[in-house]
């Protein structure tokens, strides 16, 4: 253990380490608040000055971060937001939590990571710990980040320390939060792993060390690819059961009574969120670079990506029962966020449903208390109160996101045609309800 390592570990143990978090979204802000709550001095970095201003005013814009928690640490002077990347020079720890989207070609887009690391390079000094949390393909940390950080002569795991620790955030989950989700840590060397593990052990209940950054990167991709593949199977089963006139939801509910060897996954209008629709493509892209074809994984992606169009076909089926076509019909979406009880629109399948309905000439409206305004393509829509929708009786309502606040009883009682993609109306039976 050298002097740089000893000093860093001591500052972490005594909570004197200054922590910088780059990217203040669904991952970065909860992490920054948790570090601040545990006594660290934290700076949140983001190029979006709207976010940094909100933080400095003590206003939380992330549902998973309670207003009181954010306000407390800001008032105590332990958390501040800034867009001044030069301030990274004063940090002992720099945690990168920026987006990793896909290009139109379905290839990884590391531009946000590269820009963040470029800012770190300008400020890098001996003794700093740099951690990447952004989901990415195996090899990113040692093939992209490490060479950039070493470009000015400092040596990793000796002068500075570098690790990967995948974010495992589940927006809207009140049971599993930053504090009690086990943290995976893999460093570029033993000193880096030890420093990162010590840091996270101050804010999470359990830290699991793995042998390398590549293993840590692959862990996250396995977790989300596992979900994507199994959801793909559930979606394909839904298509099959529809052809056979079998209730797929009843089948899954019965199957999950088996106490071993089965884990329930459910069909839906498509995959949403930043991770599950994207991570399998990161994995298959990297596999192709190594001469391996992920046929099974890519097939699941094809099935999942086709679900929004299938939802529109079900809308057509519903309208046909009353001798109407999609063209000219008033179609109302119930919920446009990608999952229940959150305001996150990233990769929401509702956007693809809207686009397909629009191309077919539907007159589109929506209700979502978590998303008051929706901009999609050339359209800007405002959320409409559900009770007003019931009174106006659109031609068809599509339940894309099953928010708990919706008045499902009133919707069913209105007699309007309903396409339920989430089994929100599980215990209700009506000739006007059409399921996947």
Confidence of residue 378 (pLDDT cuts 50, 70, 90): confident
| Residue 338, phi then psi, degrees to nearest 5 | -75, -20
Residue 377: the pLDDT is 73
Residue 50: the pLDDT is 95
Question: What sign does the CA torsion over 385, 387, 392, 396 have?
Answer: positive
Residues contacting 80, CB < 8 A, separation 6+: 42, 43, 44, 55, 56, 74
Report the mean per-residue pLDDT for the chain: 95
Question: What sign does the CA torsion over 187, 192, 198, 203 have?
Answer: negative
| Residue 395, phi then psi, degrees to nearest 5 | -70, -30
Confidence of residue 174 (pLDDT cuts 50, 70, 90): confident
Residue among 404, 401, 387, 399 at smallest CA distance from 432: 399
What does pTM read for this prediction? 0.91
Angle at 315 between CA 310 and CA 319, to 5 degrees: 145
| Calpha distance 107→383 (Å, rounded) | 34
Q: Kindly report the number of other CB atoms within 10 A of residue 391's CB atom.
A: 9
Question: What sign does the CA torsion over 372, 374, 380, 385 have?
Answer: negative
| Calpha distance 320→56 (Å, rounded) | 54
Residue 376 has pLDDT above 80, yes or no: no
C-alpha separations of 368 from 329, 406, 411 in Å? 20, 9, 15
Among the residue ranges 59-73, 156-170, 202-216, 369-383, the one predicted with the least confidence is 369-383
| Residue 274, phi then psi, degrees to nearest 5 | -80, -20
Could you report the per-residue pLDDT of 388-410, keeping only the tens digit for each?
Answer: 999 999 999 999 999 999 999 99
Residue 103: the pLDDT is 86
Give DSSP secondary structure letters for 200-238: HHTTSS-EEE-S-HHHHHHHHHHHHHHHHHHHHHHHHHH
Residue among 117, 116, 128 at smallest CA distance from 90: 128
Confidence of residue 145 (pLDDT cuts 50, 70, 90): very high
Angle at 63 between CA 384 and CA 97, to 5 degrees: 125
Residue 425: the pLDDT is 96
Q: Please give the share of the chain, as a percent, with pLDDT higher than 70.
A: 100
List of domains in the chain: 3-211 (3.40.50.720), 232-435 (3.40.50.720)
Question: What sign does the CA torsion over 41, 44, 50, 51 have?
Answer: negative
DSSP classification of residue 156: B
| Calpha distance 399→269 (Å, rounded) | 9
More confident residue, 212 or 282: 212
Cα atoms in the Cβ-side hemisphere of radius 13 Å centred on 228: 30
Could you report the per-residue pLDDT of 209-258, keeping only the tens digit for each?
Answer: 999 999 999 999 999 999 999 999 999 999 999 999 999 999 999 999 99
Angle at 400 between CA 397 and CA 406, to 5 degrees: 70
Residue 429: the pLDDT is 86
Residue 173: the pLDDT is 84
Per-residue pLDDT, averaged over 197-206, amounts to 97
Residue 211: the pLDDT is 98
Residue 153: the pLDDT is 96
Could you report the per-residue pLDDT of 24-48, keeping only the tens digit for each?
Answer: 999 999 999 999 999 999 999 999 9
| Calpha distance 255→270 (Å, rounded) | 22
**Range from 95-104, 193-202, 368-377 that averages highest in pLDDT:** 193-202
| Calpha distance 34→395 (Å, rounded) | 47
Q: Which residues pair with 207 in a beta bridge?
A: 183
Do the beta carbons of residue 178 and residue 203 sit within 8 Å? yes
Residue 273: the pLDDT is 84
Could you give the maximum distance between any two Cα atoms of the chain, in Å? 78
Residue 424: the pLDDT is 96
| Calpha distance 256→386 (Å, rounded) | 33
Per-residue pLDDT, averaged over 323-330, amounts to 97
Could you report the per-residue pLDDT of 291-322, keeping only the tens digit for each?
Answer: 999 999 999 999 999 999 999 999 999 999 99
Q: Which of 241, 275, 396, 400 is catalytic?
A: 275
Residue 409: the pLDDT is 93
| Calpha distance 345→162 (Å, rounded) | 32
CA 249 to chain centre: 25
Per-residue pLDDT, averaged over 111-137, amounts to 97
396 an active-site residue?
Answer: no
More confident residue, 379 or 298: 298
Residue 223: the pLDDT is 94
Residue 382: the pLDDT is 96
Residue 412: the pLDDT is 94
Per-residue pLDDT, averaged over 371-377, amounts to 87
Residue 262: the pLDDT is 96
């Amino acid at each position: 253990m050298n002097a740089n390592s000893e000093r860093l570990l001591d500052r972490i143990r005594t909570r004197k380490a200054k922590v910088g978090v780059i990217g203040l979204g669904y991952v970065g802000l909860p992490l920054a608040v948790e570090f601040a709550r545990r006594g660290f001095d934290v700076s949140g970095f983001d190029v979006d000055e709207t976010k940094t201003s909100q933080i400095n005013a003590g206003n939380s814009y992330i549902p998973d971060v309670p207003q009181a928690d954010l306000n407390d640490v800001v008032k105590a002077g332990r958390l501040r937001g800034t867009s001044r990347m030069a301030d990274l020079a004063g940090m002992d720890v720099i945690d990168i939590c920026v987006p990793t989207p896909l290009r139109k070609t379905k290839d990884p887009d590391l531009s946000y990571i590269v820009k963040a690391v470029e800012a770190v390079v300008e400020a890098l000094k001996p003794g700093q710990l740099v951690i990447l949390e952004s989901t990415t393909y195996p090899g990113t940390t040692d093939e992209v980040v490490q060479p950039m950080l070493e470009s000015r002569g400092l040596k990793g795991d000796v002068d500075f320390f570098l690790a990967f620790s995948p974010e495992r955030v589940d927006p809207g989950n009140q049971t599993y939060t930053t504090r009690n989700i086990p943290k995976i840590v893999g460093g570029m060397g033993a000193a880096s792993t030890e420093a990162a593990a010590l840091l996270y052990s101050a804010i999470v209940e359990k830290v699991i060390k793995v042998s390398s950054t590549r293993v840590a990167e692959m862990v996250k991709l396995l977790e989300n690819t596992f979900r994507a593949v199994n959801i793909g199977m559930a979606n394909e089963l839904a298509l099959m059961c529809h052809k056979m006139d079998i209730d797929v939801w009843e089948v899954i509910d019965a199957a999950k009574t088996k106490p071993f060897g089965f884990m329930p996954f459910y069909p839906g209008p498509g995959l949403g969120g930043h991770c599950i629709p994207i991570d399998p493509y990161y994995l298959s892209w990297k596999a192709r670079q190594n001469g391996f074809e992920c046929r099974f994984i890519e097939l699941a992606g094809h099935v999942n990506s086709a679900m929004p169009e299938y939802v529109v076909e079900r809308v057509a089926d519903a309208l046909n029962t009353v001798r109407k076509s999609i063209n000219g019909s008033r179609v109302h979406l119930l919920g446009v966020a990608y999952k229940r009880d959150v305001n996150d629109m990233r990769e929401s399948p509702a956007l693809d449903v809207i686009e397909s309905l629009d191309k077919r000439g539907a007159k589109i409206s929506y209700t979502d208390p978590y998303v008051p305004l929706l901009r999609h393509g050339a359209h800007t829509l405002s959320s409409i109160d559900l009770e007003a929708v019931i009174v106006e009786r659109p031609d068809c309502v599509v339940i894309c996101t099953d928010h708990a606040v919706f008045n499902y009883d009133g919707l069913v009682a209105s007699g309007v045609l309903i396409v339920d993609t989430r089994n929100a109306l599980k215990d209700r039976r009506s000739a006007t309800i059409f399921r996947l």
